[in-house]
Amino acid sequence: MSWGNVQMISGMYCLDSKSELSYAKNEIKEEIKRYGNIEEYPDLGNDILPIVSIETVCKSLEEAEELADSLDWKGKYSLLIPYKDVGDEDIWTIKVNTIYLNIYHEENNLEKYIKRTKGCRNHKSKFVGCPRCGSRLNRKSINNDKCPLCGQDISSSTVKKTIKRYKNNIKEMEKELRKEKEKLSYKAKTKYLFLYEEDLKY
């Protein structure tokens, strides 16, 4: 993070238990004192904003983050949200592991496809036309899939459709993965998402 003209600090901690909250608070206080305007506000960093504890236990870290996004808390108070650690691989079923591996392989396939088609390598002609600025570009001089003159994506429609298909597949599998993991929340350990945003008084 660049501290040139920063007026606020913000962040998050994933705590194994509430007993770790005091450590997180001390870390935030030190951060405020380090970067805050203590010349005008010498007491800055002696304390942080009040912490509001949410009673509802979320089924996953993702659900806890979504809950935080739905609340108007930033700059007003800090949030402590309990959630089930369904990211713990020790509780995963065969189905969850299979989906996880399928995502991994699909991401690898996407990465390989992008490398294979980068620089319009799949174009058969020596020259590639830019649909935006009309430039006629030598295919060998193209290092990526952008027009060097206007920045337009000049990859073929086939490449675009294939990449989109890979990404959609990954997105759907990620949804399924989350759904299956959250089914295991009943046997997952409870952790705590602690979010903060503090004014540096500049």
Residue 130 and residue 150 in contact, taking contact as beta carbons nearer than 8 Å: yes
Q: Kindly state the helix (H) or strand (E) to which residue 28 belongs, with its residue range.
A: helix 21-35
Residue 198 has pLDDT above 60, yes or no: yes
Residue 105 has pLDDT above 60, yes or no: yes
Q: How confident is the model at residue 89 (pLDDT cuts 50, 70, 90)?
A: very high
List, as one string, the DSSP characters of 41-110: -TTTTSS-PPEEEP-SPBSSHHHHHHHHHTS--TTT-EEEEEEE-TT-GGG--HHHHHHHHHHHHHHHHH
Residue 123 has pLDDT above 70, yes or no: no
Instruction: Give the pTM.
Output: 0.81
Q: What pLDDT sits at residue 120?
A: 66
- Range of lowest pLDDT (11-15, 21-25, 33-37): 33-37
Q: What pLDDT sits at residue 119?
A: 61
End-to-end alpha carbon distance in the chain: 17
138-179 pLDDT tens trace? 777 677 778 878 878 878 888 899 999 999 999 999 999 999
The residue assigned the tokens 């952008």 is 146
Q: Kindly state the helix (H) or strand (E) to which residue 10 belongs, with its residue range.
A: strand 8-15
Q: How confident is the model at residue 2 (pLDDT cuts 50, 70, 90)?
A: very low
Residue 57 and residue 84 in contact, taking contact as beta carbons nearer than 8 Å: yes
**Mean pLDDT of the residues in the chain:** 91
Q: How confident is the model at residue 124 (pLDDT cuts 50, 70, 90)?
A: low
Q: What pLDDT sits at residue 3?
A: 44
38-74 pLDDT tens trace? 999 999 999 999 999 999 999 999 999 999 999 999 9
Helix, strand or coil, per DSSP, at residue 162:
helix
Q: State how far the Cα of 29 lies from the Cα of 27, in Å rounded to an integer.
A: 5
Residue 121 has pLDDT above 50, yes or no: yes
Q: Taking the CA atoms of 10, 14, 15 and 18 in sequence, report the sign of the dihedral they define.
A: positive
* Partners of 146 in the β-ladder: 153
